[in-house]
Structure 1
Amino acid sequence: MEYKSGDVADLQGFFADLVRCETRLYNALNDRLRERHGIVTSQFEFLRFLREHPGARVADLAAEFAIGAGATSKSADRLEKQGWIVRRTNPADRRSSLLALTDDGSRLLDAAEATFTAGLSELVEGALDRSATAAAARALRRLRSALERDQVGTPTG
């Protein structure tokens, strides 16, 4: 779609392209992860977050991914049932649990990360050169920061 500067179609086109790109990338990576590792993209992202934030709570995952706490808890239940994470009592607040990767979860994540990274590189670098990728990453990082700062799109449940 060709954007017309200063026109409503400019922002609507930006939104449509952003959402369609995200959906297509997500689905393509989802297919690869499911086929090669038996997980889906959302599970991969949860496991990666827990590796980077050991002892995170369900609420931390919900905030990071802008999804409801109930859906996040159910996703954590599925990961725990597979033996990829464990819940431990939070010593600071016994009403919540701290989540951590198991050894099996860490091994799965390591293997899946190679698939994810290779797939993402193939899909993005096949369409954009490094400077375009860097510019897009900077723009999206700024937009995300502003939305998060202003708590735009944060679920209430």
Structure 2
Amino acid sequence: MASISRGSAPDPRLLFADLVRCETRLYNALNERLRERHGIVTSQYEFLRHLREHPGCRVADLAAEFAIGIGATSKGIDRLERHGWVARQPNPADRRSSLLVLTDDGVRMVDAAERTFTERVTELIEGALDRTRAAAVAEALALLRTALERDQIGMPTG
């Protein structure tokens, strides 16, 4: 059940529950739409989008961006590579790692999936929040994320 706090400090337990449940429900709704239209899930879309915006990053860079383990990230990239959407190239600065780049098929996939993603997330947010509230939520989450990332909170250990 959602908590609503008007004017007083929110109960941190309820705030946490609301944040987590919203994230889970949004993620699931986006998974459903992306799978239906493109045969991918949200995590794959997010990896592809990040690689489009940051060509030549490494698996470790992706893991840090998404605050997930390197092993899980590498497995996710392996799946994208098998689909022909991502290629690993030798890293000239470090022979132990590879640089990740989108293939032409990967660019086409992420561009098509982005339209679907944007359409669906917009529907979900606009269906619940007016522009003023959506802007306030976006600002609050950006501040919280900035503080967590600045202090390296919640980074996986492996």
- Normalising by structure 1, what TM-score? 0.96
Q: Partners of 1:36 and 1:156 in 2: how far apart? A: 35
Instruction: Report the count of equivalent residues.
Output: 155
1:120-139 alignment runs, 5 A limit: 120-139=121-140
Unpaired runs of 5+ residues, structure 2, are none
Contact 1:80 1:86 in 2 (8 A): yes
Partner of 2:157: 156
CA 126–6 in structure 1, closer or farther in 2 if over 3 Å, else same:
closer
Partner of 1:23: 24
Q: Which segments of structure 1 move beyond 2 Å, counting only runs of 4 or more?
A: 2-7
Partner of 1:3: 5
What is the DSSP-based 3-state SS (H/G/I as helix, E as strand, rest coil) of the residue aligned with 1:151?
Answer: coil
Partner of 2:82: 81
1:6 Cα offset (Å): 4.1
Deviations 1:74-117 (A, max 9, x none): 10011001100000000000100000000000001111111100
- Normalising by structure 2, what TM-score? 0.95
Contact 1:3 1:13 in 2 (8 A): no
Q: Partners of 1:80 and 1:66 in 2: how far apart? A: 21
Partner of 2:145: 144
Unpaired runs of 5+ residues, structure 1, are none
Identity in percent: 72
AA aligned opposite 1:2: I
